[in-house]
Amino acid sequence: MTATARRGDRVYRLATGACAASIPMLLAFIAWVLATAAWPAFARFGAGFLTTGTWDPVRDAYAVGPALLGTLVTAGLALAVAAPLAVAVAVYSAELAPRVLRTPLAFLIDLLAGIPSVVYGLWGIGVVVPALRDDVGPFLRGTLHLGGLPLFAGPSFGPSVLAGAAVLATMILPFVAAVTREVLLAVPRAQREAAFALGATRWETVIDVVLPYARGGVIGAVMLGLGRALGETIAVALVIGGQHAFASSLLAPGYTLASLAANEFAEASDELHVAALMAAAATLFALTLVVNAVARWLVGRVARRGEAT
């Protein structure tokens, strides 16, 4: 290798290393900016900022307990609904659908995954909110009592935590399905052929061979969907209602951390109000980091278990 080639390799290594190092540096810079801006709120309100429910700019009293709970509830409900459906859609499109339908179906899934979130929010205003107000809400309130739990108690106005969860589930379903489909397609064909050679049916091959082989990637896709659900802003802000209060009913209006920051940042007129909103953003940032760390741990654990077997 000539001296010029070695010099080019060193330059390329340094350039790619600098690009790789810019990612954690950018993450650290964002964390520092958020922590600095949010510190006045955390210093004044302490742990109560995350656990209580008062949000009163007139009295300079702020807490994001309801918004934090709304974030967890909407994202959890959305994932509980979307993840099984997304995996089923991915299995059908990658393994079971007729060959002539696979490409159009994959195109439609990718198209849905790429629709801007504001479009989903407007769809939620025009379809989900009226349906919850007129049909679904009264049905749930009169039919499902769940052992006395007031999950569907009270009036159904339409904008609610349940509406936010429904829009989020619709948003992340094609996203998780698209990623899961690519994971399933990456399973070596030899795995399927070996199962067929042993007499397994196509369904048995999918359940006993393909999904266990792709388990780590499927978990990663689901956790990516959860991360998107936690941070979604506009679509949720349009349908969740915007109420600063702990509510036991899913039919009641609520807030998420992202929608709270989006709705009130333009109206923040004093330093403490801005600091409280930045503290809400910092809380969401930390929550997202925790979710991604758990996702990496789960994927790594599944991969190590697969190597051990």
pLDDT at 305: 61
In sequence order, what are the beta bridge partners of 254?
A: 241
Q: Phi-psi region for residue 246, left (φ > 0), alpha (ψ -120 to 50) or beta?
A: beta
Q: What is the DSSP code (8-state) at residue 120?
A: H
pLDDT at 103: 87
CA nearest 263: which of 42, 129, 36, 67? Answer: 67
Q: What is the DSSP code (8-state) at residue 58?
A: T
Q: Which two tokens stand for residue 252?
A: 């009641």
CA nearest 283: which of 67, 7, 108, 77? Answer: 67
For the chain, the distance separating the N- and C-terminal CA atoms, rounded to the nearest angstrom, is 43
**How many angstroms separate the CA atoms of 88 and 176, rounded?**
11
User: Where does residue 40 rank: exposed (0-12), middle (13-18), buried (19+ CB within 10 A)?
Assistant: middle
Residues with Cβ < 8 Å from 54, sequence gap 6 or more? 61, 62, 63, 244
pLDDT tens digits, one per residue of 253-263: 989 999 998 88
pLDDT at 20: 87
pTM: 0.87
User: Where does residue 153 rank: exposed (0-12), middle (13-18), buried (19+ CB within 10 A)?
Assistant: middle
**Is 177 within 8 Å of 89 (Cβ atoms)?**
yes
**Is 101 within 8 Å of 218 (Cβ atoms)?**
no
Phi, psi of 195 (to 5 degrees): -65, -40
Contacts 24+ apart (CB under 8 A), 104-110: 106/178, 106/181, 109/174, 109/177, 109/178, 109/181, 110/174, 110/178
pLDDT tens digits, one per residue of 125-174: 999 999 988 888 888 776 766 555 677 777 788 889 999 999 999 999 99
Mark the ranges of the chain whose per-residue pLDDT is less than 70.
Answer: 1-5, 142, 144-149, 302-309
**How many angstroms separate the CA atoms of 118 and 233, rounded?**
9
pLDDT at 3: 65
CA nearest 288: which of 242, 248, 237, 229? Answer: 229
**Is 171 within 8 Å of 74 (Cβ atoms)?**
no
User: Where does residue 258 rank: exposed (0-12), middle (13-18), buried (19+ CB within 10 A)?
Assistant: buried
**How many angstroms separate the CA atoms of 30 and 156, rounded?**
39
**How many angstroms separate the CA atoms of 115 and 212, rounded?**
31
Q: Taking the domains of the chain in order of start, what are their residue ranges?
A: 67-308
CATH code for the domain defined by 67-308: 1.10.3720.10
